[in-house]
Amino acid sequence: MSNTIKFKIDGKEIVAEYGKTVIEAARENGVYIPTLCNFAGVPAKGGCRMCTIKINNRFMTSCTTPAAAGMEIENDTPEINALRKSIIELLFVSGNHFCPSCEKSGNCELQALAYRYQMMVPKYPYSFPVKEVDASSPKIIKDQNRCVLCQRCMKTIKTESGERYFAFSKRGADLEVIMDPELAEKMTDEIAQLAMDNCPVGSIIKKEIGFAEPIGTRKYDKEVIGTDIEG
Amino acid sequence: MSKKVIATASLAGCFGCHMSILDIDERIIDLVELVEFNKSPVDDIKKFTKRVDVGIIEGGCCNSENVENLKYFRENCDILISLGECAIMGGLPALRNGIPIKECLDEAYLDGPTVRLNTEKIIPNDPELPMILDRVYPCHEVVKIDYYLPGCPPRADLIWDALVALLTGSEMDLPYEVIKFD
């Protein structure tokens, strides 16, 4: 049996190794499917739903679906892009995302997705939830106002022995990602930087340095998110 | 062709968006050919003197005067634009939205580290003063808004392109660089 399979995304033929997920196969073939929670080193969980596509006319998440031969996939269509824009808008109104005062502005994936899908204003009402800012760690600030609960910090920021710096706390609508106070106390600069970089939004901010890179020169100020994949 | 009429206002904003309007540089000469200004801080006209084609609102609503002014604009403008993050989502003034209003006033007038001269411990209460709202509201939660131009401030090119498109009825080109939230 051949180890490669072929399927189609928006009419383009995709050749992929057997066992890859749709999103991995797409990425390797220069097709961008947006994600927030899907990240290198994090097991796919289909949490954020940004990578929703239509496979043989059914909505599926591309990060959790193994690619199979003969799939007919819709990705960059007005229908699916409108759904993605809705998800972005819901994330904007369910937290407190004050871009003008955020150190992550310009490097933020949520904001970059809003730019890509041309969100001028969310179509949902702002909820202005009351959230805490935890500045107890000497190295980082954990701002719950901006957290999108993607779990990227929980899954990727660990000690050498595998202990997690971040974990879920509470449940349901109150769910939040909190820091382990003891580990946060001993956090190194390198771990703090990695945690900030791996956070798709501005929920983890490294202390004592800000706006070293001016607004206007940051990653997504000029470059549309996904163009590194699309080429 | 008669000139289109424009009006502008700064509600709970910092006038940065108005500065960005001025940042269209020499195109302001072309703008004067295209439009005349009515009620606006630019010409200091306080009351509408005629029907306005395009009203431009900077800032959200943080007090009763903002609400009154915004409604006044809606009544007198055919098209109303939310200009900038504060008009669109409350912006920096809305950072107080999670804090009870009493705590905000106590911090500002009684307990704050820079409060020195308020020996009588008075929170300003003159009836002439607009009443502060429980939180800062985006403009579209108060009146109908027709268009949104994001940014803090919105780029001058975005304002220019949007105005020209609106006034001439042409299609609007939105290059990636002009839509920014910061």
Size of interface A-B (CB pairs under 8 A): 65
Interface test with B, best of A115, A117, A126 (most B CBs within 10 A): A126
Please answer yes or no on whether A100 and B82 come within 8 Å at the CB atom.
no
What domains lie within chain B, and their CATH numbers? Answer: 4-95+135-178 (3.40.50.700)
> Quick check: B129 pLDDT over 90?
yes
- Measured between beta carbons, the chain B residues lying within 8 angstroms of A115 are 176, 179-180
Give the number of other CB atoms < 10 A from CB of residue A140: 26
> Quick check: A1 pLDDT over 70?
no
Give per-residue pLDDT as tens, A101-115.
999 999 999 999 999
- Measured between beta carbons, the chain A residues lying within 8 angstroms of B174 are 118
Q: Which two tokens stand for residue A122?
A: 């969310």
Provide CATH code, domain A84-208: 3.30.70.20
Contacts 24+ apart (CB under 8 A), A53-58: A53/A9, A53/A22, A53/A80, A54/A79, A54/A80, A55/A22
Give per-residue pLDDT as tens, B144-159.
999 999 999 999 999 9
For A90, phi and psi rounded to 5 degrees?
-60, -40
- Measured between beta carbons, the chain A residues lying within 8 angstroms of B95 are 96, 98, 101
Mean pLDDT across B153-181: 92
Residue A151 CA to residue A144 CA, distance in Å, equals 13
Among the partner-chain residues A99, A129, A130, the one whose CB lies closest to the CB of B85 is: A99
Whether chain B has a CB inside 8 Å of the CB on A1: the answer is no
Class assignment of domain A4-76? alpha beta
Of the candidates B19, B28, B148, the one whose C-alpha atom is nearest the C-alpha of residue B79 is: B148
- DSSP secondary structure string for all residues of A9-56: ETTEEEEEETT-BHHHHHHHTT-----SS--TTS-----S-TTEEEET
pTM over 0.90: yes
Q: Domain locations in chain A?
A: 4-76, 84-208
- Measured between beta carbons, the chain A residues lying within 8 angstroms of B97 are 96, 128
Among the partner-chain residues B98, B148, B152, the one whose CB lies closest to the CB of A130 is: B98
